[in-house]
Every structure is written in C-alpha cells, then in structure tokens.
C-alpha cells in the first residue's frame, strides 16, 4: 500500500472509499465531516441507515453513493463514547476500517484531514497513527501456505486529503514506511517456524540490513564465543546441532563516531525446548518466537537505517536453540560467564538469562554505552503478573525507565515498572558458585532481571524489558492482528530518534 497526499477543494478529491469518524451517543457530525457531506454527499444525512448506527468502537457503516459519484463509498467508523477516547481506540477503529476496504477490494482509500475535526490530538499525530494502523492492520503471514491463500493487494493507495497544505506529510510518509517496515520484519521473523528462522537466518537478515544501510556487521560462531569467554552463551548453544550465531550490527553515520552508543540487546533463542529441564509438550510449538527480542532489535535497526538517524546504535543478538542432547548443559553445572562470574545452573529452561548475561557484559566492556536496553521473552511470570498487553520494565536508572514508559504509551506499547530491591537476590545465592540462574518461584520476573543486573555496572544506565506476554497477540487487536506483534520496535526507534545525549 502506497501513500499519497492530495491538497485542494473537496471537488478535487477522488477515490474508491472515504473514511469519517463518529462518536457514540452524539447525533451530529463534527464540523469538517458535516461540511463535506453537505457539499459532496447530501443524500447521506437523509439515509435511514444512520438510525441503526450506534458508532460503537470500531463499528463500521458503509454507504454507497449514486451512480457517477466521484467517491462511490462513504465509510463511517465508530470511536465509541467521547469520554473513552484514546489513541488505541483510534488505531483499532482505523485498522478495522482499512481491513474492511481490503475485503471489498477497494483500491484507493481517502483519509480526509477534515475527518479529524474535534478529535483530541494534533493532525500530525492522528495522521501518523492512522497510517501506522492501516499498514500494520493489513499484515498477514502466509508465506508458507499453498492453498486457501488470500492474496489481495488492496488497498493500493492510502490518500491523505486536505484543503490546505500539510507540511509534515513528506517526513511522516518516510517515518511510517521505515517504522512499519521494521515492525513487519520483526513479525515475520517471530511468526516463521524454527526450521526457517534459525540462528543462521537471523545472521543473514542482520547482514542484509547492514549491507543495505552501510552498517558494520560481525558474527561470532561458537569457537569465537568460547575464545571470548562467553560461557553462558556457549553452554546453551552446545546442545543444538544448529550452529549458534552471536550477531553484532552497528549503525554509525558519519559525524557520530565519537558518540557513546545506544546499545540494544535482544534474546535470540530460535527454539526453546527447555533443554534438559524440558518443557511440557502442550504449546511448545509457540517457543519458535522465543527470539522475538532479537527480532525486535533487527526491526529497530532496519528502521534506524532507513531513517538514517544521526545516532550511534549497536545491536547485539545472541542467537541459538536450547535443545536436549548428550552435550547439552545440565542442572548442577557451574558456568563461567564472560564477566568472570560463575553461575550454578538450576534450570536449563532459564537459558535466556544465560545468553543475555554474556551479551550485556560484552557490550559494556567493548562499547561503553550511553545507555543499554535489552528485550527478552524472559519469564512466564511476567505474563501472569501483567498479562499480554503490558511489558515488564526493570533496570538501574529511573530516568531511563521513565523515558521508555513515556515514549511507548502514545505509540501503543505499554510498559509497567517493577522493583529491583537487593533482597530479591537472596534466594539466588549458591553454595558452589557466585549465584544460581534461578531463585525460588516467587517474583520470577524480578529475579530474572536481578540475575542480569549482576552483569551491568551501576554506572551504565540499563533497562530490561520482559516481552514474554506482549510478543504474541492471541486475539485480533486491529492494528495488531492475531499473531506476532513486533512489540518494542516503535518505542526503540523513537527512543533512539529523540535521545539528545543525556538522560
């Protein structure tokens, strides 16, 4: 779907369908839509169908105009009650409307800025969110299907129409293309099965992004990881016959070489059986998306590269499977990590922290980050605590955590902070090593982050984002169809873009 802007009088607007919004329990249209209807579709206000339209959230009423109408379809989209307004309601309603256009094979969708009259946000924000919702709400993954595949390429155009100039539109088109492209990449990678998205495939995607946008690219195999002392990563990887890959991509445009980089770390377990501490068979197939943290980092780098953001950004993605095997690491093993700290393995199913600790330690020693964010499907406890719409947020720097939370909320990515008090570490102490890789069952999300905290100096601002719940939508949310969400990409891109060198 392509973007286009049309500026001029109502009479210059043409398309196959036009969208307008309506509030529940309000009998009149806002001034802008009412003016368009008076001039271009006077028949609409007299339609008896309006009496049946309640304008509930995402409710859609479609009108067909008379023969020869410049715009043959008018679509009214409900926003619910005005008091319940949110950008999330707006995104959901817009996504469902554009998806309805796809079902009707509508090629050109008109999105008039006049439709935004009376909505409690700026035109720029609303146009951006509508475009994001339209592009992401049409997402489907059917690459591996051979039958019953719907291949509609409609709508072909999303036309932003206005009576006057919209100076923000060209940059907005560029931004939405870049960010939605990054999210779609993250969704593709997390949706595809583990025999398709292997550590090698993740490295290939990283190499493609680096080549396309002039980024530096490195990949370590298991021998190199051993040489660097990445004992946690090696321990998890040694049970798999699929070659492990520790991937590094650095975006460093000319003129920012001396910047301390923003470092993004993504957990890349391309399939997680639990290892020797094997998981139950039920729902194990979902463990193909245990690499969603790494996918989000790749999606972010894709968007950062397309936008050529003048900020040094480094992405580290330790990628491997976690498999049971004669050579797999075992409960009771003691592992020496990159930081030199020793870890007693209690559960091999706590593998995410074992690979992340080496990535965090390596990032600190090599890059001296301005700040560091890791994303990981780390704990089932996070799903129990926060559900599937809110990510857990923990770290050592209050300003960074606040910035992430405030950045994500208007973009539709929600984060909730959890504490990291020192006493949470007590149950992780070991008799034979510096500490264990799990504590008892209490506060699982917090103790997972407490483990990672041991590998990050207090002088390095760091945030840990547990996306175990948010990575996958079990039901259709409009702009997030059922399936992989691409959670984190929007927030990370905006975080990088808006960061000004200090927290």
* Pairing status of strand 472-473 against strand 483-484: antiparallel
Structure-token pair, residue 70 = 């410049």
Residue 350, C-beta contacts closer than 8 angstroms, at least 6 positions apart: 437, 438, 448
Q: Does the N-terminal peptide bond of residue 155 adopt cis geometry, omega within 30 degrees of 0?
A: yes
38 annotated among ligand-binding-site residues: no
Contact of 136 with 184, CB cutoff 8 Å: yes
User: CA distances (Å), 121 to each of 3, 126, 128, 244, 413, in order?
Assistant: 21, 6, 11, 47, 18
Check the CA dihedral 318-320-321-325 and report its sign: negative
Q: Is 349 annotated as a binding residue?
A: yes
All residues at 6 or more sequence positions from 46 whose CB lies less than 8 Å from its CB, including other chains: none
Give the C-alpha separation, 121 to 130, whole Å.
Answer: 12
The single residue of 279, 389, 409, 497 carrying the catalytic annotation is: 279
Nearest to 114 by CA among 166, 151, 156, 172: 166
The answer to whether 188 is a known ligand-binding residue is no
**Cα–Cα distance for residue pair 453/469, rounded to 1 Å:** 21
> Which of 73, 353, 436, 453 is flagged as catalytic?
353
- Please indicate if the annotation marks 258 as binding a ligand: no
Residue 83 marked as a ligand binder: no
Tokens representing 204? 């290939």
How is residue 312 annotated by DSSP? Answer: -
CA distance linking residue 478 with residue 189, whole number of Å: 20
Q: What are phi and psi of 437, to 5 degrees?
A: -85, -5
Active site residue 151: no
Distance of CA 214 to the CA centre of its chain: 23
Catalytic residue check, 279: yes
Q: Measured at the alpha carbon of residue 376, what is the angle toward residues 373 and 382, in degrees to the nearest 5?
A: 110
382, 466 Cβ separation under 8 angstroms: yes
- Catalytic (active-site) positions: 279, 353
The annotation places the binding site for Mn(2+) at 267, 272, 290, 349, 351
């Amino acid at each position: 779907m392509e973007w286009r802007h049309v500026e001029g009088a109502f009479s210059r607007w043409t398309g196959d369908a036009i969208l307008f919004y309506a509030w529940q329990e309000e009998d009149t249209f806002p001034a802008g839509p009412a003016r368009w209807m008076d001039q271009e579709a006077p028949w609409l206000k007299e339609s008896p169908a309006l009496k049946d339209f309640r304008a509930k959230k995402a409710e859609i009423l479609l009108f067909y105009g008379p023969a020869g109408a410049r715009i043959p379809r008018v679509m009214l989209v409900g926003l619910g009650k005005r008091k319940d307004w949110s950008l999330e309601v707006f995104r959901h309603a817009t996504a469902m409307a554009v998806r309805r256009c796809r079902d009707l094979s509508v090629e050109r969708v008109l999105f008039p800025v006049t439709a935004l009259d009376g909505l409690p946000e700026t035109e720029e924000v609303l146009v951006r969110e509508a475009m994001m919702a339209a592009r992401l709400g049409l997402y489907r993954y059917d690459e591996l299907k051979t039958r019953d595949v719907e291949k509609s390429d409609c709508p072909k155009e999303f036309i932003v129409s206005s009576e006057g100039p919209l100076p923000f539109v060209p940059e907005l088109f560029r931004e939405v293309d870049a960010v939605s492209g990054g999210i779609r990449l993250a969704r593709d990678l997390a949706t595809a099965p583990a025999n398709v998205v292997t550590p090698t495939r993740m490295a290939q995607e990283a190499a493609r992004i680096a080549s396309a946008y002039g980024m530096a690219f490195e990949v370590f195999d298991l021998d190199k990881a051993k040489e660097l002392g990445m004992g946690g990563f090696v321990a998890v990887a040694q049970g798999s016959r699929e070659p492990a890959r520790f991937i590094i991509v650095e975006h460093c445009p000319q003129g920012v070489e001396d910047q301390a980089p923003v470092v993004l770390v993504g957990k890349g377990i391309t399939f997680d059986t639990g290892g020797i501490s094997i998981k139950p068979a039920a729902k194990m197939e979902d463990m193909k998306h245990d690499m969603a943290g790494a996918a989000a980092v790749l999606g972010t780098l894709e968007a950062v590269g397309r936008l050529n953001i003048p900020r040094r950004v480094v992405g580290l993605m330790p990628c491997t499977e976690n498999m049971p095997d004669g050579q797999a690491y075992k409960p009771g093993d003691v592992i020496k990590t990159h930081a030199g700290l020793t870890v007693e393995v209690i559960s091999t199913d706590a593998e995410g922290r074992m690979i992340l600790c080496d990535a965090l330690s390596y990032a600190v020693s090599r890059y001296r980050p301005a700040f560091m964010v890791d994303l990981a499907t780390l704990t089932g406890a996070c799903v129990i605590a926060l559900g599937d719409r809110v990510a857990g947020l923990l770290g050592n720097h209050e300003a960074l955590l606040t910035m992430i939370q405030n950045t994500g909320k208007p973009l539709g990515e929600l984060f909730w902070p959890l504490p990291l008090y020192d006493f949470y570490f007590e149950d992780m102490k070991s008799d034979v090593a510096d500490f264990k890789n799990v504590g008892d069952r209490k506060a699982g999300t917090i103790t997972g982050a407490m483990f990672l905290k041991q590998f990050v100096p207090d002088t390095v601002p760091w945030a840990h984002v547990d996306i175990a719940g948010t990575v996958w939508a079990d039901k259709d949310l409009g702009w997030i169809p059922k399936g992989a969400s691409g959670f984190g990409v929007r927030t990370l891109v905006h975080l990088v873009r808006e960061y000004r060198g200090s927290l």
